[in-house]
Amino acid sequence: MPAFGGSAGNAAVNAVIQRMQAPGDKRKRSGSPEGQEPSKQVREAASSSSDVETSSEEEVEDPFSARNVHQLGNEQDRLTGLLEQMDEKGAPEHIKQTVVDKLAILSLLRNLAPMRSVETVHEAIRLVSRKPDSPAKSKYLAKLDDQLTFLAEELPSAGPPSAKTLQDMWPQLAPAFGSGGGQVGQDGCEDRAHAICLSIAQRSPAIAAHQLSKQWATSSGARLNASHQWNHHVAASVTTTDGVMVIDPIFSRSGPIELSQWINRVQVDRRNVHQTAWGFLGKPGPDNKPDENSAVEYVPMS
């Protein structure tokens, strides 16, 4: 079970959320030119006529905005304290289990923030759906469904980018290459891959929502790569019009490489390479899909 504690969030994750939002954690869609509000006369005419629908401008709130994720954290802290009180007073186990189940859902969702990936949201729905039926389960499944709607409306897919688009983005991604706790080539592939994904989400949120993933290489016994002797390895990847391209500065400092090239350089059997939702920091579970233990909170290196 994921830990219930943890920080109230982190700057890197919140930056992705806030950069994509107007103040107030809401985004506006408007039918007027260039997103401008209608004139005062138009607004008064619309409000005074019973035959006219509500203004064409509509505010859409991100269910997992920075503010809402902060509220999840507050509720998580409250329930953690409540559980401690229950332990002290010897509350019945079935009552405590209700709190434990809700805490597990809150921990999962907070650790997956900022929920900027359709694939990540679908995986979260799969994991929450496994929980015992409860009002909390129903509430957060509804929020996840709302998040899918938000992503579809606010970050619609324009289709896969070209490999050239990804190559042009490369210089902007370079600052994230050292986010694994040391120089490129040392341990820390999980943090590095996640930092790169967050960087893409800041610069190209639609690509992050629809075409960004991670490639996990796992070992069936033998170590991966003769030089590095890894148990596993992970890197960010983007599905482009030219195929899946992998962003891994350990093997290429000049640009993304094709998935087949990456597999060869990792020295892994193709059957042990699995594409997963990028919102999960940790290694996939035994079925090669993300599980609750994969939903680890990302804490950037200081």
Q: What is the 3-state secondary structure (H, E, C) of 185-212?
A: CECCHHHHHHHHHHHHHHHCHHHHHHCE
Q: What is the pLDDT of residue 53?
A: 44
Place of tokens 């890894």: 230
- Token pair of 193, please? 């891959």
pLDDT for residue 213 is more than 80: yes
Confidence grade of residue 12 (pLDDT, cut at 50, 70, 90): low
**pLDDT tens track for 58-110:** 667 899 999 999 999 999 999 999 999 999 999 999 999 999 999 999 999 99
55: three-class secondary structure by DSSP: coil
Candidates 44, 40, 60; CA nearest to 52 is 44
**Adjacency order of strands within the sheet including 212-218:** 257-258, 243-247, 232-240, 212-218, 273-276
**pLDDT tens track for 189-203:** 999 999 999 999 999
pLDDT for residue 23 is more than 60: no
**pLDDT tens track for 129-157:** 999 999 999 999 999 999 999 999 999 99
Phi, psi (rounded to 5 degrees) for 127? -75, -40
CB-hemisphere CA count at 13 Å for 227? 7
Q: What is the pLDDT of residue 235?
A: 97
Q: Which residues pair with 244 in a beta bridge?
A: 239
Q: What is the pLDDT of residue 300?
A: 82
Q: What is the pLDDT of residue 31?
A: 37
CA dist 148 and 151 (Å) reads 5
Q: Are 202 and 173 in contact (CB under 8 A)?
A: no
CA dist 246 and 156 (Å) reads 23
Q: What is the pLDDT of residue 184?
A: 42
- Token pair of 218, please? 């796992």
Q: What is the pLDDT of residue 59?
A: 63
CA dist 158 and 170 (Å) reads 20
* pLDDT, averaged across the chain: 84
Confidence grade of residue 220 (pLDDT, cut at 50, 70, 90): confident
Averaged over 195-219, what is the pLDDT? 96
**pLDDT tens track for 248-294:** 999 999 999 999 999 999 999 999 999 999 999 999 999 999 999 99
Q: What is the pLDDT of residue 101?
A: 96
